[in-house]
Structure 1
Amino acid sequence: MTDTQAISPFRLVFVPGVTPTKWVKVWNERMPQVPLTLLALAAAEGGPSLQQGGADAGLVRLPVDRTVLSAIPLYTETTVVVLPKEHRLAEAAELTVGDLAEEIVLHPLDDVLEWEQRPGVPARERPATTADAVQLAAAGIGVLVVPQSLARLHHRKDLTYRPVTDAPQSQVALAWPEDRTTDLVEEFIGIVRGRTVNSSRGRAETPPQPKKQRAKAGEKTGQKAGDKRQPKGAAARTGAGGAAGGRARSGSGKAGKPKPGKRGKPQRRS
């Protein structure tokens, strides 16, 4: 590849409330030759963008069209109610859907929660976006139920939020077009799943044995081998001495005469 040829970037879609920073950082460290382009889209646009080839992968909210897209669920968010700090419900540590029965609950058009039955009293009009609903909540017109990340994203000093324990929850997933599972997509999947640089795709490799352990293992092996047999030189010397000793015991002559030992100092008589 010549210097004039540009490398196509890896395009990653992400929706409001999702923070891809940590994964982007790892990508830049491992894949410096491939730039990563972030595309911020509305929650409802993430899946369609991937289907239409607008990105290589995306951090989106479920559900998505699983007949076209592959998806790996990453985490499930806590659902909270956003309300003014002086609101009577703000005194509780956590709430239930039943606690909102008498409240006007704002339901924006870009709501990411799937309700079987929406809580509270509906507002006369639905706000266009979650950001608009937050402004209305700050004005005291109603309260808003959203995933916690969206409450943090639209944080205001005059608002607070409390967990709603029995409300629907939103699940964030990594998704990509099933028929375009490229090597770069596999690389990003590995990063999101926490694979190391040396890990193979789809399975973890057996970690190499540390050098110190191998050295100790070698020493132990040598010791065991030494317990069973002596080195050849030592065996030769022992064998020669044993043969000589045998001849000394069975035969006669100078060769069989044992060497005299050193004389010790005579003991003093009492």
Structure 2
Amino acid sequence: MTGQEEPSSFRLAYVPGVTPTKWVRVWNERLPDVPLTLVQVPAADADELLRTGGADAGLVRMPVDRTELSAIPLYTETTVVVVPKDHVVAAVEEVSPGELADEILLHPLDDTLDWERPPGRPALERPATTADAIELVAAGVGLLVVPQSLARLHHRKDLTYRPLSDTPESRVALSWPQAEPTPDLVEEFIGIVRGRTVNSTRGRAATPPQAKAKAKAKRPEKSGRLADKSPRAGSGGAKGAKGSKSVKRGGKPGKPRRRP
């Protein structure tokens, strides 16, 4: 980068519930000259944002439109059921769909789980958002099944949640518009989420030239180490050093001979 060039930037989209903090911190440490801008986007709009260039990459929920976007699955979330704290479900460690058969289950329009048929009995109307559904759970209207991160995001003191077994799970992925080759900054972020070290040969985040130069300057020269081990001028050499002791092989040290 020359002095006249403006620093480039990187726009990272993320959907509710996903926390990019740890990766952003690594980015800022490795590329302090490249600002990273976070763009929050509803899960249903993430693909369109990436396709239209609204972000360089995104932390999204699968499935992803693979015809125009590339994606790397990162992790799978636990599915939980959100209930009032005084609900019977709050007394157990885990619940199964069958145990919710008689409960009203809220199914918001922005639901991120790929249901064939949600468990329990459906509500008369579907809430517009997960946030709206949380309010209805607090009002005692019904229960809500969501990825655990969304339950944490919408945490309330009067609500709790428990893992729900044998249900769809939400997978989070890093996604970006398809291009050949992959843009350098996208490649950088791929390396960060995959845990590549700063010295990795992939991407421009490998050790910068100035860092390498500093490391080389601190490293002692081989010639200097060898010189330190060699005899100093005027020392008489290694043999001279041994000969300086007043000890004869087989004799006693330090006892002078008598003159006749």
TM range (shorter): 0.7 to 0.9
In 2, Cα distance between equivalents of 1:99 and 1:39: 39
By how many angstroms is 1:8 displaced? 3.4
By how many angstroms is 1:4 displaced? 6.6
Residue type at the aligned position of 1:29:
E
Give the % identical residues.
70
Residue type at the aligned position of 2:52:
Q
Moved over 2 A (4+): 1-8
Residue type at the aligned position of 2:26:
V
Aligned to 1:189: 190
By how many angstroms is 1:82 displaced? 0.1
Residue type at the aligned position of 1:56:
D
1:44-74 Cα shifts (integer Å, max 9, x gaps): 1111110111110000000010111110000
In 2, Cα distance between equivalents of 1:136 and 1:117: 20
Residue type at the aligned position of 2:156:
R
Aligned to 2:141: 141
SS in 2 for 1:151: helix
TM-score by length of 1: 0.73
Q: Confirm or deny that 1:38 pairs with 2:56.
A: no
Residue type at the aligned position of 2:183:
T
SS in 2 for 1:65: coil
In 2, Cα distance between equivalents of 1:120 and 1:145: 10
1:1-270 to 2 correspondence within 5 Å? Answer: 5-179=5-179, 181-201=182-202
5+ residue gaps, structure 1: 206-214, 216-261, 263-270
5+ residue gaps, structure 2: 207-221, 223-249, 251-260
By how many angstroms is 1:2 displaced? 6.8
In 2, Cα distance between equivalents of 1:90 and 1:168: 21
In 1, Cα distance between equivalents of 2:66 and 2:11: 20
Which structure is higher in helix share? 1
Aligned to 2:242: none
SS in 1 for 2:179: helix
CA-atom RMSD, angstroms?
A: 2.9
SS in 1 for 2:200: coil
TM-score by length of 2: 0.76
Residue type at the aligned position of 1:163:
P
In 2, Cα distance between equivalents of 1:3 and 1:135: 53
Residue type at the aligned position of 1:22:
K
